[in-house]
Amino acid sequence: MGQWNVMLVDDESDFVDTLAERLRMRGFRARAVTDGHEALALAEQDPPHLMIVDVMMPGLGGLEVLKRVKKTLPDTRVILLTGVGSTKEGIEGMRLGAFDYLMKPVNIQVLIDKMHEALVDGE
Amino acid sequence: MDELEKVFLGRISAGMTHEINNVLATIREATGLMKDLLLQGKDLSTPLQEKLVSVSERVARQVERGSYLTTRLNRFAHSLDHPERVEDPDELLGLTVDINQRFARLKKVQLNALPCSRNQRLSLPSFHIQLLLANALSWLMDRTAGGGEIILRPTVESGRLTIEMEARPVSESPTEMADTFTELATHVATVQTFIGADFKNRTGVEGFSIILDLPPAV
């Protein structure tokens, strides 16, 4: 799994930067992005194997990012991160093609296990 | 509280708990990163490194606890902005136990819910049920002997939900309890009428039960 290309999208920059750093320490090529539009533009330039996307973001929300990724980058897997009270959005996301959803705050090992599942599934 | 006020309170509380959870998620990642960095130099392990790892684990445990509590508070807040919610009675009572647990702990009473006899989802006025249960539990906790237990026992029959709250052992005589129970029933009479619920009491060998009977959803 050495150089899996992973993009993290969440408007909470402290959260997403830190998580990206932790994933880099574990061998992933992880990028942190804090805006849905920017994430889509960067993903088209350098398609990630996997995107981890927060559901509730200002501007372009996680479900909309998911819909557009599924259209333009069908090979990219998407895992959604939901907050409290957003389980409904997580379920809706799976209907729209998300690999799965996890509730924040998520244990790093749980996240990595889910990432492996998604990446193996995408091979 | 009128409907508009309730929805407002629910919406704001739900939004704030969501934000608090984001804060907790960030603290969790930052602590995790500190631990990762400390463990990178395994061969340089010192008592200070060990201490710092242990502190970061303590922070992570408290974040976990805080996150669980905010999740429950968020769920309670959502009971305010939806007058009727389709709910699993077990989930409803799980929330009842969580939001009343602190009061039970202060009274040194164990509070537990048993699973429902039937796996069913019902349309329920969750907020008003929680209000009635909280009042009944508070009254029972005041009369449960220290070290005692209150058990919530739900049953569903033809769409009708009944919740028995049994306290044992109790610190007052059954006659005294039956007398003061009338005060409790009167105190929450408006809410009972509003949702068509009925409060009854039953005296057992060791304890005392309050039974909340809810009509089937229309």
Q: Does the complex come out with an ipTM higher than 0.85?
A: no
Cβ–Cβ below 8 Å for A85 and B78:
yes
- Give the tens place of pLDDT for each residue, A77-97: 999 998 866 778 889 999 999
Cα dist from B183 to A72, B52, B53, B177, B178, whole Å: 65, 54, 54, 10, 10
- Give the tens place of pLDDT for each residue, B102-154: 999 999 999 999 998 767 888 888 888 999 999 999 999 999 998 999 999 99
Mutation for testing the A interface, residue in B13, B23, B29, B37 having most A CBs under 10 Å = B29
Q: Is A15 on the interface with B (CB under 8 A)?
A: yes
Task: Report whether pLDDT(B174) > 90.
Answer: no
**A61 by DSSP, 3-state: which?**
coil
- How much is the pTM? 0.78
Distance separating alpha carbons of residues B8 and B18, to the nearest angstrom? 15
Q: What is the mean pLDDT of chain B?
A: 87
- Give the tens place of pLDDT for each residue, B46-62: 788 888 888 888 998 99
Nearest CB partner across the interface for A22, out of B32, B74, B75: B32
